[in-house]
Amino acid sequence: MTTLITGADGYLGRRIVAALRGEDLILAVRCADQAELDRKRALLARVTDAPVVPADLRDDDPFAHVDPRSVTRIVHAAAVIRFDVSRDTADRVNASGTARVREFARRCDRLDRLMLLSTLYSAGRRRGEVHETRHDDAGFVNHYEWSKWAAEECLLDAPGLPVTVVRLPTLIAEDGGGEVGQYNAFHHTMRLYHSGLLTLLPGDPATPLSLATAEFTVAGVTALLTAPPGIYQLCPGPVTLGTAIDTAFAVFEQDPGFRRRMLPRPIPCDRASFHDMAQAARRLRGGPLQPALASVAPFAEQLYLPKHFRTDRLRAAWPGYQAQDATAVVEAACADLIERSFHVTAH
Amino acid sequence: MRARPAATSMGSMDGLYIGSFAHALGARKRHLRESAEAGLLRSAPEDLEAAGFRWHHICEPDGSAYDLARSAVAEIAARGELTDIDAIVYATCLPDGGTRTGPVRDVKELMDFPAGRLQAEFGLSRAIVVGLHQQACTGVLGALRVAGALLTTEPGWRRVLCVTADRFPDGAWYEQAYNLISDGAAACVVGREPDVCRLLTVHQITNGGLGRAGDDETVGTYFAYTHRLVREAAARVGLAPAELDWVVTQNTNDKAWQILARLLGVDHARVWAPTLPDVGHVISADPVVNLSALLDSGRARPGQRIALPMAGFGLNWQCAVLEVVGR
């Protein structure tokens, strides 16, 4: 059994590689040239001695270096995951790139599983209960969401392929200890609040957030590799937006430097107000607010669209499933951010 | 335990009135694009235009902040309203006027007494003087508050002249916290006799922890603090923000009050800053300029309540609440 992992050098890809260490793996990475490929090979060699092959999902035949006869499982982890990704890039990498993975999968005669790592937010603009089923197009808040939905559809439309779609939560820490290994919109937002650059809170404080650790997510992904094909929502147990903010500020306020600055907790604002503020911020020259907001604003609208993700299929398929205390994860992650003065080095 | 910035207010200011509003602006009116070409701005001119700014006023090279203050007070004197002044409260952001150069041997050179000069120049011989320079762009409201306090503790006093004046030094950027700046001054009188408005309260919040806040932090904290400021100021006079008849603001990015009006439940049509394109942000004087415009327009009716919220470096936030009397 040989597993091809795309995006094997990415944040989650590397952790999945580590979890599957000892199995037959082929690691596909995107690289601009031989030097970058060498660097990524060296990076991954710390985890496994599996072969590392170059694969750019924008190429016509990205898996030209992989023999399809040897592949029995594919974990498609490669994606552009920025909320402010352009439509064109989201299409070329996430949607059309997944179509190329599908075409390669068709050539794998012994394929047992094609797993797409998607996002809970492929649900787009819908609100309320979200089931572990295919979504119709309910509209999307940003191109990233749209592209992940399109990627799901691309695979779920393909007859005969053993497809598993795993919709992932937002990863904010490595594990319950709270170590932050990669910045995303959550961390950018916390940095804005901690630095006093933002005092408005986009969204309804009652909106549930799905925030998780990499440890939980990788455990779920690897467990689902042996579960029946289908759609799973890897949701660890929600925390409301208001509780997450209160928890973060309770941590910040233990920091003497923060206390001295007496920064106020943010006030909830309506969608139009946050939109106006983000638009106006685009005109603020060169400061830190504009780029930080650029990563937050494309996601902010989701915070007005409360969703409750059902996990019935996940719980049935993953005997080891244990809901996480998301409030505790937020607390630990924020404490880690404070300890590092918000300087996070990807590792 | 969370630290909170000091928040105090005067509460009721029974029997105090405010009127005799006057202002003066730098003599040279320039379009912001001209100032951008002269290197006086930090933002791109199109960004400032998108915020609503167009023109601003700069002093001639030999013009001073004191000259601006004198012009504003002279206007009051010319109307015959500079009478019975018991005190002068003078607020400025730049107490040395930004004119000092070179080494100093005699520290008297560092001292400046613009309020005393006004006293002498206008013959206000019985007036004592008070200076405020820790409240940045909110200083004019601090002057009102001090005036109210003086009249409360000195039963024999009748009228206090409040003045604010600032002029940026030559070569300085005419932009602060993304606002286009004008040199200017404003003056008014707080007294016991019925006047244009009753002075109901002045409320202040200071967060010295943000005393060295940069432009982005100043903008970032603006919304939460101004929201709190207006709510608390309105509450001091028994009102909800939505019950305010007018909110007369500083001349700042016009998006800011579109947002705050929604957050406060205030009808944006009641937010008044008509001089934004012509005048810009006159340090501490633009709310007086805008208030004068409102009163001159005839749209403010007797009994209506007007809030004047202001934000300034330091960081300071102040809000006065007035009630229109009409005379």
Whether B5 and A262 lie within 8 Å, measured CB to CB: yes
Q: With 80 as the cut, is the pLDDT of residue B4 above it?
A: no
Tens-digit pLDDT profile for residues A104-145: 999 999 999 999 999 999 999 999 999 999 999 999 999 999
By C-alpha distance, the chain A residue nearest B46 is: A283
Q: Please report residues of B whose CB lies closer than 8 A to that of A276.
A: 255, 258-259
Q: What residue ranges define each of the domains in chain A, with the CATH number in brackets?
A: 2-168 (3.40.50.720), 172-209+240-305+324-339 (no CATH)
Token couple for A183: 């910045």
Residues B291 and B277 sit within 8 Å (Cβ to Cβ): no
Give the pLDDT band (50/70/90) at residue B178.
very high
| Cα gap A146→A135, rounded to integer Å | 11
Residue B261 tokens, joined:
């009006």
Nearest chain B residue to A259 by CA: give it.
Answer: B3
Q: What is the pLDDT of residues B49-61, one digit of tens each?
A: 999 999 999 999 9
Q: What percent of chain B has pLDDT over 90?
A: 88
Taking contacts as CB-CB distances below 8 angstroms, the residues of chain A near B210 are 196, 261-263
Chain A, nearest residue to B217 by Cα: A197
Q: Which of B259, B264, B268, B271 to mutate to test the interface with A (most CBs of A within 10 A)?
A: B259
B122 part of contact set with chain A, CB < 8 Å: no
Decide if B47 touches A, using CB distance below 8 A: yes
- Do residue A289 and residue B42 have CB atoms under 8 angstroms apart? no
Output the pTM of the full model: 0.90
Q: What is the pLDDT of residues A155-165, one digit of tens each?
A: 999 889 999 99
At position B51, the amino acid (one-letter code) is A
- Res B2: pLDDT: 46
Strand residues in chain A grouped as ranges (E): 2-6, 24-29, 52-54, 73-76, 113-119, 128-130, 163-168, 170-173, 200-202, 208-209, 211-213, 230-233, 239-240, 267-269, 307-309
B276-292 confidence digits (pLDDT tens): 999 999 999 999 999 99
The pLDDT assigned to B292 comes to 97
Size of interface A-B (CB pairs under 8 A): 94
CA atoms of B298 and B306, how far apart (whole Å): 14
Contact B219 A289 (CB under 8 A): yes
Of B5, B227, B258, the CB nearest to A276: B258
Q: State whether B51 and A266 contact (CB < 8 Å).
A: no
Which chain B residues are within 8 Å of A269, Cβ to Cβ?
Answer: 223, 259, 262-263
Chain A residue closest in CA terms to B263: A269
Does the distance separating the beta carbons of B209 and A200 come in below 8 Å? no
Gap from A180 CA to chain B (nearest CA, Å): 25
The minimal CB distance from B217 to the residues A197, A269, A276 is found for A197
Task: Decide if A280 and B253 are in contact by the 8 Å CB cutoff.
Answer: yes
pLDDT of residue A97: 97
- Choose the closest CB to B259 out of A196, A264, A277: A277
Closest chain B C-alpha to A212 CA, distance in angstroms: 28
Smallest CA-to-CA distance from B221 within B312, B134, B131 is with B312
Residue B111's pLDDT is what?
83
* Contact (CB, 8 A) for A222 and A214: no
Residue B169, both tokens? 């030094």
Containing A63, the helix (H) or strand (E) segment is none
Angle (nearest 5°) at CA A294 between A96 and B178: 155
Q: Determine contact: B325 vs chain A, CB below 8 A.
A: no
Per-residue pLDDT of chain A (347 residues; tens, 9 = 90+): 899 999 999 999 999 999 999 999 999 999 999 999 999 999 999 999 999 999 999 999 999 989 999 999 999 999 999 999 999 999 999 999 999 999 999 999 999 999 999 999 999 999 999 999 999 999 999 999 999 999 999 999 988 999 999 999 999 999 999 999 998 889 989 999 999 999 999 999 999 999 999 999 999 999 999 999 999 999 998 999 999 999 999 999 999 999 999 999 999 999 999 999 988 888 887 677 777 787 788 899 999 999 999 999 999 999 999 989 999 999 999 999 999 888 766 55
ipTM score for this prediction: 0.87
Record: contact B3-A195, CB cut-off 8 A: no
**CATH 3.40.47.10 domain range(s) in chain B:** 17-191, 197-324
The CATH superfamily label for domain B17-191 reads Thiolase/Chalcone synthase (3.40.47.10)
Compute the distance between CA of residue B151 and CA of residue B64 in angstroms, rounded to an integer.
30
- Looking at per-residue pLDDT, the higher value among A290 and B80 belongs to B80
Instruction: Find the CB nearest A284 among B5, B219, B224.
Output: B219
pLDDT digits (tens, 9 = 90+) for A201-247: 999 999 999 999 999 999 999 999 999 999 999 999 899 999 999 99
* Residue B47 with chain A: CB contacts under 8 Å: 283-285
Inter-chain residue contact B51 with A280, CB threshold 8 Å: yes
pLDDT score of B68 more than 90: yes
Q: How far is CA A268 from each of CA A142, A271, A273, B190, B260, rounded to the nearest angstrom?
A: 22, 10, 10, 38, 12
> Domain B197-324, CATH 3.40.1160.10 — does that match?
no
User: How confident is the model at residue B11, as a pLDDT?
Assistant: 59
Nearest CA in chain B to A260: B209
The C-alpha atoms of residue A144 and residue A148 are separated, in whole angstroms, by 6
**Would you call B209 an interface residue with chain A, using a CB distance cutoff of 8 Å?**
yes
Residue A329's SS3 state is helix
How far apart are the C-alpha atoms of B316 and B293, rounded to whole Å? Answer: 25
> Residue A183: is it exposed, middle or buried by C-beta count within 10 angstroms (0-12/13-18/19+)?
middle
Question: CA-nearest residue of chain B to A268?
Answer: B263
Number of Cβ within 10 Å of residue B303's Cβ equals 11
Chain-centroid distance, C-alpha B266:
22
Asked if B224 lies within 8 A of A200 by C-beta distance, the reply is yes
Tell me if B162 sits within 8 A of B147, measured CB to CB.
Answer: yes
User: With contact defined as beta carbons under 8 Å apart, do B189 and B157 qualify?
Assistant: no
The residues of A whose Cβ lies within 8 A of any Cβ of B are 192, 195-200, 253, 259-267, 269-270, 272-273, 276-277, 279-281, 283-285, 287-289
Q: What is the tens place of the pLDDT at every residue in B95-132?
A: 875 556 677 788 887 888 999 999 999 999 999 999 99
Question: What is the rounded CA–CA span in Å between residue B248 and residue B271?
Answer: 6
**SS3 assignment, position A19:** helix
- Asked if omega into A234 is within 30° of 0 (cis), the reply is no
Interface mutation vs chain A, best among B223, B253, B313, most A CBs within 10 Å: B223
Interchain CB contact of B219 with A (< 8 Å): yes
The reported pLDDT for the residue numbered B1 is 42
Contacts (Cβ under 8 Å, ≥6 apart) of B80: none
Residue of A nearest to B210 (CA): A261
CB contact under 8 A, B216 and A284: yes
- Residue B135 burial by CB count (10 A; 0-12/13-18/19+): exposed, middle or buried? buried
Cβ of B259 within 8 Å of Cβ of A283? The answer is: no
> Across the interface, do B178 and A260 touch by the CB < 8 Å criterion?
no
Query: Is pLDDT above 90 for B267?
Result: yes
Q: Who among B207, B216, B223 is closest to A262 (CB)?
A: B207
Angle (CA) B9 B13 B16, round 5°: 140
